[in-house]
Amino acid sequence: MTISRDRAAWLGRHIFPNEAALRLWLARRPAIGMDVEDVVQESYAILAALDRVDHIVDPRTYLFQVAKSVVLRTLRRARIVAIDAQISVELLEVPADLPSPERVAADRQELTHVAKLIAALPARCREVFTLRKFHGLSQRATAERLGIAESTVEKHMVKALARLTDAIGRGGSGQLRSSSPRDPGAARSDDEDRDAELA
């Protein structure tokens, strides 16, 4: 399924930072008898296919609710549901916003993982992402700092978020797919971007 750049950016900003907590939450309920990876992937697919997301006030809670609905729907489809799975459904309460020690540990692990993914981004893409997300620079300030157009800053942000979302969506392998030069949709290199801006 192909998703829009805007949706990829939204998933990157609001959903993938919560994936580690979701995986931990699901893993602590083994009696459900479902593959955590399957639930996570189907949850991403549902979120990517939504007509709109501007109504979602709390993306983290929404993600957990989607995952819960995936589990419940799968159990309902099963011809035979184990008793322990039925009991586990009662435990499928969306966790409170207050972080548990497990969530704190998972968040720290996820931060380390995300840092590695960011480090693997193309140089200019990584630079733009770091200035915008970690230093809090506006799009205009980032453009002025780097001497590039604001539209180029936006393009690099979309590319960074799309690649990070893709890496996380593939199970957090920690590897980013490189754009193939034969791929007509592949992003241009930084040199090509600079040439285009000077043209």
Q: Which structural domain, as residue segments, surrounds residue 18?
A: 1-99
The verdict on pTM exceeding 0.85 is: no
Cα distance between residue 156 and residue 197, in whole Å:
14
> Which of the listed ranges 13-17, 35-39, 141-145, 192-196 does the model predict with the highest average pLDDT?
141-145
What is the pLDDT, as a whole number, of residue 125? 92
Is the residue at 188 inside a domain?
yes
| CA nearest to 146, candidates 160, 166, 127, 163 | 127
109: left (phi over 0), alpha (psi -120 to 50) or beta: alpha
Res. 23: pLDDT tops 80? yes
On whether both 170 and 133 belong to a single domain, the answer is yes
**83 confidence band (pLDDT: 50, 70, 90):** very low
Cα distance between residue 32 and residue 48, in whole Å:
25
Is the residue at 142 inside a domain?
yes
What is the tally of structural domains in the chain? 2
Tens of pLDDT along 154-198? 999 999 888 888 877 665 444 555 443 333 334 444 444 443 433
Burial class, 14, CB count within 10 angstroms (exposed 0-12 / middle 13-18 / buried 19+) = middle
On whether both 71 and 144 belong to a single domain, the answer is no
**Looking at this protein, which amino acid is placed at residue 144?**
E
Is the residue at 47 inside a domain?
yes
116: left (phi over 0), alpha (psi -120 to 50) or beta: alpha
On whether both 2 and 89 belong to a single domain, the answer is yes
For residue 47, how many other CB atoms are within 10 A of its CB? 20
